Structure 1
């Protein structure tokens, strides 16, 4: 039997996995990558340490119009299979807080190095600086046309071009145009894990202040999502892992023309009532101090004047003269400081794309298009995105594996 010719468009995590798997199945594989090298985005993951999966991966960590679509790929090639795959390539693993899995070297370059070595050992043909302009299909198969006029013929094509997040890595949304040419529909895309812009004229004054606190997204008075960790105030709004986790839901609400509220608990170790009692006791020790001095050592010093101004308490007011109502106001804002979310940073700052190819048009068991036989999808360009913490790379490996193995089969 003649080996199948599989063309993979995109040399990111999903494309690389698809290439390795398809080649191991006996297919002739060529990867077309628009950048001078493959795997550029892998190097940026996990702050350069490559958080390549998460031991707590569950379908609830994924989002999209039909997030259950991801279940089949994750079942076929899940966390255990991913860790074993990389162990066999040479990546010993370490598990950190919240199930985050890293290479024991804590270098993203280690992951890319072993993947590149495997591609070379298998004899996968990698063509870089190859920007795909169009794909045509006839009875004989696919014709892939590059921007510079070069062409490639194949029996199957896997689209793994990524979304629009981090365009410096080569993700410019080109894959969506290629899919649309075959009749596929795109669920509206927007940044999935990204810093949020807030309303407030005091943000410049607290730019760079970092706290360990809790971020809660509220909509119509109800909690949508909550996360705890390092929160960073910026001159445009707010950042940090908890904020990134909430950002997708916040932007979904904004895109509907509604207004989400972000609640920040600077002190998240005490309830408001407990903090109120603690503050009364604390202030009893320092009745001669002004309130701005009395709060030093409790919260970041740069937050003090901004917070007091927000609740209309004179920073020079003596602690002895504070009313119970004013102490309650302080306890309230330290446990429940609310901001209006007005937008987000751009695609340049986003870690992942929400939205993408409509999953109703893809076979979840094979990742093959339901519209075009022999056309497969993998990774971020599909309308599936994960939480922060290794879930998006797991989706790349899982969907890439499924697309690769099925594209190689007759």
Structure 2
């Protein structure tokens, strides 16, 4: 039996290893457009390699049908992943947050051990090999690069991801291949990414970072609330809270919905209590500028923008600010609303949403329901995980099941 795997990311690598371990006599060819394997593995966790998460459920995923992940996450749960890692000599560091890293704290050690395992099993790895086309004739597949054709494959696994991180040669060719075999797919969108807002004061607040509560509104309805870091940027907002909320925000932007966020700078304070505190501060120093007093509460980059929004002059003294204006200040700090107009795009995204529709793929074997011998795994499917190692865990799990299926005689 002869198998081709397109994409040497987490899903493709574990599929190749699993298949060869189950049947050492089959030929497995692994193709990747990069000069090395696992480029997105290397980039995960800011280079520290957030390789998985020790507590994963289908609720950690988005897509047309997140429950598609249930069987894979059960069959290849964290214990199974940990066992796999030990089998290649990789020890793990499990954090209290459930995020999982290599004990070495270096992503390179992960890809190096995977490389050694592939080599020891006799998997043929073709690097710098961007696949341009796939064909099937007389029950056999052939795949083409720009200058070479590889033929006589019994089965093909498409695991080359989607468009997030094009600087790592990420592309959406997997969708083109899927379409060729009559698969449909849902529109793709950047996920875990910074968000653009429609205000004009971006540059004035750039660099400010604060732990806040962020609420997401879709067509005026509250959809999600997240607490975490918010970073103001020259284009809008980023930070961990924004990356987390961006998944639902970006998905709805792709559907042309009205998307807004509201940032609460003081989530532990009720709006009325915040108003009382501001009023008390102003009474303590009535002759001081309101602007200067506010910088004791919030960033000196935010304070002038805050006064501008509340229609208060920067040189206004504290004693000149009336009760209605103080309520306006506290309201703004409690619910700083921003309209989301766009994302930072695939070039800055950690993952891609959308992809091959999961109802056209078997959730136990990951074989296509449209074309016998064709398989899909990982990000190319319409499944995207939350931040924190969930995307890689689905890649490992789906790749593992695909690898098991690839060696079965059909």
Band of TM-score, shorter chain: over 0.9
Aligned-residue Cα RMSD (Å) equals 1.5
**Does residue 15 of structure 1 match 2:12?**
yes
Q: Please name the residue that 2:62 is paired with.
A: 63
1:68 counterpart SS class: helix
Task: Name the residue aligned to 1:323.
Answer: 322
Structure 1 CA distance, aligned partners of 2:198 and 2:39?
A: 35
Residues of 2 paired with 1:136 and 1:221: CA distance? Answer: 47
Counterpart position of 1:166: 165
Asked if structure 1 preserves the Cα contact closer than 8 Å seen for 2:271 and 2:331, the reply is yes
Measured after TM superposition, the shift of residue 268 of structure 1 is 2.0
Deviation, 1:55, is 2.2
Q: Is residue 25–residue 409 contact of structure 1 (8 Å, CA) maintained in 2? A: no
Query: Which string of whole-angstrom CA distances, capped at 9 and with x for unpartnered residues, describes residues 154-200 of structure 1?
Result: 21111001101111112111111111111111111111221111011
Residue number in structure 1 paired with 2:33 = 34
| CA separation of 1:201 and 1:102: change in aligned 2, threshold 3 A | same
Structure 1 residue 135, shift from structure 2 partner: 1.6
Does 1:353 pair with 2:361?
no
Displacement, 1:11?
0.6
Separation of aligned partners in 2, 1:106 and 1:325? 53
Per-residue CA deviations over 1:226-268 (Å, capped at 9, x if unaligned) read 2121111111111112111111222232233331111111222
Contact persistence 2:32–2:127 (CA under 8 A): yes
1:81 alignment partner in structure 2:
80
Match of 1:291 in 2: 290
Alpha-carbon separation, structure 1, partners of 2:105 and 2:306: 39
Aligned to 1:25: 22
Residues 256/134 of structure 1: CA separation in 2 closer, same or farther (3 Å cut): closer
The one-character-per-residue Cα deviations of 1:277-307 (angstroms, maximum 9, x if unpaired) are 2223333332221111101231111111011
Q: Do the aligned residues in 1 keep the contact of 2:251 with 2:353 (CA within 8 Å)?
A: no
1:105 Cα shift? 2.2
* Deviations 1:79-119 (CA, angstroms, capped at 9, x unpaired): 22222322333333223353211122222112112111211
The structural deviation recorded for 1:221 is 3.2
Does residue 168 of structure 2 align to residue 157 of structure 1? no
After superposition, the Cα gap between the structure-2 partners of 1:263 and 1:97, relative to the gap in structure 1 and judged at 3 Å, is farther
SS of the equivalent of 1:227 reads strand
1:405 aligns with 2:404: yes
CA gap of 1:256–1:150, structure 2 versus 1, over 3 A, is closer
Gaps of 5+ in 2: none
Instruction: Between 131-140 and 381-390, report the one with greater CA deviation.
Output: 131-140
Contact kept in structure 2, 1:56 and 1:98, CA below 8 Å:
no
2:120 alignment counterpart: 121
Note the 1:331-370 alignment, pairs <5 A.
Answer: 331-370=330-369
Q: Would the aligned equivalents of 2:209 and 2:230 in 1 still touch at CA under 8 Å?
A: yes
- Taking structure 2 as the reference length, what is the TM-score of the superposition? 0.95
Q: Give, in whole Å, the separation in 2 of the partners of 1:53 and 1:340.
A: 33
Residue 142 (structure 2) pairs with residue 143 (structure 1): yes
Once residues 264 and 107 of structure 2 are traced to their aligned partners in structure 1, the CA distance between those partners, rounded to angstroms, is 33
Structure 1 Cα separation of the partners of residues 144 and 380 of structure 2: 20
State the secondary structure of the residue aligned to 1:402.
Answer: helix
The match for 1:47 is 46
Q: Is the 8 A contact 1:213 1:228 kept in 2?
A: yes
Cα distance change, pair 327–162 in 1 and its aligned pair in 2 (3 A)? same
Matched residue, 2:178: 179
Report SS of the residue matched to 1:301: coil
From the superposition, tell whether residues 205 and 36 of structure 1 become closer, same or farther in structure 2 (CA, over 3 Å): same
